[in-house]
Structure 1
Amino acid sequence: MKKIGIFYGSSTGTCESLAEQLAGELGVTGGDVHSADKLTAELANTYDVLVLGTSTWGDGELQDDWYDAIKVLKGMDLHGKDVALFGCGDSESYCDTFCDGMGILYEDLKDTGCTFLGNRVSTDGYSFGSSIAVVDGCFVGLALDDVNESGKTASRISAWAADLKKCF
């Protein structure tokens, strides 16, 4: 099985909690779950699969921990690396920027040579206005709204993790 590292950017703890839930579903140990502000090229290179999560802030901005971390990843040759994305958003209060942070990660990484996994997540069952995390009618990763749709979080994580496991 491929070695999986989970990196998250979290200001309030929500994305961190979701990263831990996802780790449980994927069988990833706590030592392989990291805050994005700890991401280095050396650490990223120890993993075959990078699962990257972020919350969205302000007017659709990337969470602060990712500003330096994304520069690290963009500076790497990610050929041969699998990348899966998950994002946290608020589909009610910020319906026009829902999970935009995940879309920013996707845009920043799509030309690095990585292979995206879990990037055809249906928008069915979600209520939001718009999102740059939607490409060709699907989310580029797992979109989560643990504030307004917390009752759907566990099943969404479980289903997405099951799909990812098929790729490993």
Structure 2
Amino acid sequence: MTKIGLIYSFNTIKTSKNAEKIKKAFGKEFDVELVNVEEIDEESFLSYKNLVLGVPTWFDGELPNYWDEFMPAIEEFKLKGKKIALFGLGDQVGYAENFVDGIGLLATAMEKRGAKLIGLTSSEGYNFERSVAIRDGKFLGLALDIENQAALTDERIKAWVEQLKKEF
């Protein structure tokens, strides 16, 4: 059975709700452990070979404090051999200039440390101006906009998790 650490802040209601949907979508064939990023340490993070990281984008394209405070530790990690998938929440209307930038910021940090990013998704069906989470026309993870496209969230999660099941 594949073990996956699903790491996000338990204190963010919208991210938490979607993390639980992601865990449920994996079903019983995967051992998905929910981990609070606000309480994780380096040893726990590094104990997972397969990770799903959840991150909302704050303000004008910033990481939330809890991810930002963990970045100095991440910058010291050796992540070669680890597979990391990212999901993030954003508002493509209200923050069209930095839609889901949190995904891009974490993706860059993980890749610099040697991790393999999986779970890239199409940017079709979204309408925004700019995002550092885009590379070659794809998001570097799953972009969720529950403010403007809530009706698409469950379908997007289901399709993404099916993709991850093949990539992990």
Q: Please report the TM-score for the alignment, with normalisation by the length of structure 2.
A: 0.92
| Aligned position for 2:93 | 92
Q: Distance in 1 between matches of 2:72 and 2:13?
A: 23
CA drift at 1:84? 0.5
Cα deviation, 1:12-50, whole Å, max 9, x if unaligned, reads: 4111111111111123667x1122112212111221211
CA drift at 1:59? 0.8
Q: Distance in 2 between matches of 1:65 and 1:17?
A: 18
Q: Distance in 1 between matches of 2:16 and 2:78?
A: 27
CA drift at 1:2? 2.5
- Alpha-carbon contact 1:78-1:114 (below 8 Å) kept: yes
- Alpha-carbon contact 2:3-2:48 (below 8 Å) kept: yes
| Aligned position for 1:67 | 68
What RMSD in Å do the two structures reach over aligned CA positions? Answer: 1.6
- Alpha-carbon contact 1:86-1:141 (below 8 Å) kept: yes
- Matched residue type, 1:160: W
SS of 1:131's equivalent in the other structure is: coil
Alignment of 1:72-151 (within 5 A): 72-119=73-120, 121-151=121-151
- Alpha-carbon contact 1:10-1:55 (below 8 Å) kept: no
Q: Distance in 2 between matches of 1:3 and 1:139?
A: 24
Gaps of 5+ in 2: none
CA drift at 1:153? 0.3
Task: Evaluate the alpha carbon distance shift between residue 70 and residue 50 of structure 1 in structure 2; reply closer, same or farther with a 3 A threshold.
Answer: farther
- Matched residue type, 1:112: R
Runs of 4+ off more than 4 Å: none
Gaps of 5+ in 1: none
Task: Evaluate the alpha carbon distance shift between residue 9 and residue 95 of structure 1 in structure 2; reply closer, same or farther with a 3 A threshold.
Answer: farther
Cα deviation, 1:75-125, whole Å, max 9, x if unaligned, reads: 111111110011100111111110011111012121111111112x11111
Q: Distance in 2 between matches of 1:10 and 1:82?
A: 22
- Matched residue type, 1:50: L
SS of 1:96's equivalent in the other structure is: coil
Q: Distance in 1 between matches of 2:165 and 2:12?
A: 28
| Aligned position for 2:155 | 155
State the aligned residue count.
Answer: 166
Identity of aligned residues (%): 38
CA drift at 1:8? 1.2
CA drift at 1:10? 6.5
- Alpha-carbon contact 1:118-1:140 (below 8 Å) kept: yes
SS of 1:38's equivalent in the other structure is: coil
- Alpha-carbon contact 1:9-1:64 (below 8 Å) kept: no
